[in-house]
Amino acid sequence: MIMKNVAIAFAALSLLASGGALAQVGPVQMTVVTHDLDLRSSGGKAKLQRRLEIAAAEVCGDASASDPAGRRAIRTCRNEVVAAALQELVARQSASRLAQR
């Protein structure tokens, strides 16, 4: 069974206006469409990766070019969001395969 969409809850980090300190904002949920992808192909996997990167950019936001610590935090947030999304997708695919048995 191929899932039509994957909804993934992300714990997003946002920069506080004062001093660039990090604060955890509640979970953010976004839906990443996967029904049109063949996740068995390298092309499908590449498209999924790009969609997850775009979603992570929206969840994590941007930092000023003049704020190196903020830019590192945003990059870390984006990497963590993509990794969590891929982990969630694998878990859902495994659960789907088990349910089909």
pTM over 0.85: no
Q: Which long-range contacts (CB under 8 A, 24 or more apart) does 64-71 make?
A: 67/15, 67/20, 69/20, 70/15, 70/20
Convert the pLDDT of each residue in 15-74 to its tens digit: 333 334 445 556 677 788 888 889 889 999 999 999 999 988 888 888 888 999 989 989
Q: Determine the Cα–Cα distance for residues 59 and 85; give it in Å rounded to an integer.
A: 12
In the numeric block, the tokens 């992570």 are attached to 56
